Structure 1
């Protein structure tokens, strides 16, 4: 698994040689060759016959998509996300928590030229961006404090008291809004999605270019995203408290 995460493509490198992997991980090159060959045979790694270098194989994408496609929250949210995008002409996103991070698992793009571009699978700490903060704000207190402590230790949160105050405000209002916290010049408005047990399991958010998010639009988007989140939650069996 460490080897697979090592050869994730980036802006500078798409393929890795066995020697580069060996040097990066400080593992004997014979071991690297054996592991890469085994992974290649099973389609998790692809070997370029011309360069003799390796990159991640498509079987990994198939595994990832199979997990995403079978998520109940995604299947319940997708039709509602599509209808919301048609109404507001902005992109709509679905994020789920995993550990101390939020993972973007689905996006329904609008038809506007200046869309908010976010890659599926992108991971961001639960302290950054509306779609993550709204999840953390609605977690059970013990879990929430545990995650905050971990993010403080990682240097992701500078002022924990100020951040906890922000989370309290988010929970009271039922939505979160962020400006350029992940992508400069964009706005995100998010609301929590709950399971039948009342636990927060995801967030749904509207994202787009800041110039399109004026006061009246923001008010409308807040209403729309809270309504959509409630609809998805009801699909999951959640009953709104009286």
Structure 2
């Protein structure tokens, strides 16, 4: 079923000559029975992956596919644009730097730059943790659209990840006000993490950059660390086409 759907979606990708296809045309192109094509098109239309033009009775790719494509594009662009800036941040601060992206109710660690080449990361690449935990995830949750944030919080409450909603919402409000999230002992005792949000050209939060420091280093260089993390997040956002980073407000 999934294979047939992906084959069908590939078959109706627009080109210079054609933007819409009838069910008969799809059936002939893929050599699939017309009844099967109608069933697949109906299901894909319900999901928003295919759009039916009621005037022509023809089909084209739907907006949901475009949104999925933009999400993948954003993640790829984030990683490519962020890496040199992460390296520069590590060089300036002599601290390790992490890059996290949101996916569903979770944050996914997709890369890090270590201040010490011999240092072994305690968080493996690909690690998933709830968006309600730690600076790197909370800062993304704080900047999500209200409707999206409420849906995520409700979902996290339903699975027992949020015990005090009012406290968390108050914390998220303060994070958005300051443009930064700070957490301690998140992954290791005595480690402070400072995170700022990264935005796409659509002003959507697509990632966070996070600096990890010891308590001692943090107390010594707090202002500089916060300033450099904010600056790095703003620079990456600008690389992604965000003219005015929300993190500065």
**Band the TM-score falls in, shorter-chain normalisation:** 0.5 to 0.7
**CA distance 1:186–1:115, shift in 2 (3 Å):** farther
Following TM superposition, by how much is the alpha carbon of 1:106 offset from its aligned partner in structure 2, in angstroms? 0.4
1:190-215 alpha-carbon deviations (Å, 9 max, x no partner): 0000000100000000013323221x
- SS where residue 96 of structure 1 aligns? strand
- SS where residue 71 of structure 1 aligns? helix
Tell me whether 1:107 sits opposite 2:112 in the alignment: yes
Residues 148-163 of structure 1: matches in 2 within 5 Å? Answer: 148-163=153-168
- SS where residue 177 of structure 2 aligns? helix
- SS where residue 133 of structure 2 aligns? coil
- SS where residue 213 of structure 1 aligns? helix
- SS where residue 93 of structure 1 aligns? strand
If the length of structure 1 is used for normalisation, what is the TM-score?
0.68
Tell me, which stretches of 5 or more residues in structure 2 are unaligned? Answer: 1-71
CA contact (8 A) 2:122 2:187 kept: no
Residues 1-242 of structure 1: matches in 2 within 5 Å? Answer: 71-111=76-116, 117-214=122-219, 216-240=220-244
The whole-number CA distance in structure 2 between the counterparts of 1:206 and 1:115 is 16
1:134-159 alpha-carbon deviations (Å, 9 max, x no partner): 00000000000100111111111111
Task: Please identify the structure whose Cα radius of gyration is greater.
Answer: 2
Tell me, which stretches of 5 or more residues in structure 1 are unaligned? Answer: 1-66
Following TM superposition, by how much is the alpha carbon of 1:118 offset from its aligned partner in structure 2, in angstroms? 2.2
Q: CA RMSD in A?
A: 2.0
Following TM superposition, by how much is the alpha carbon of 1:117 offset from its aligned partner in structure 2, in angstroms? 3.1
**CA distance 1:112–1:208, shift in 2 (3 Å):** farther
- SS where residue 201 of structure 1 aligns? strand
Aligned length: 174
Structure 1 residue aligned with 2:40 = none
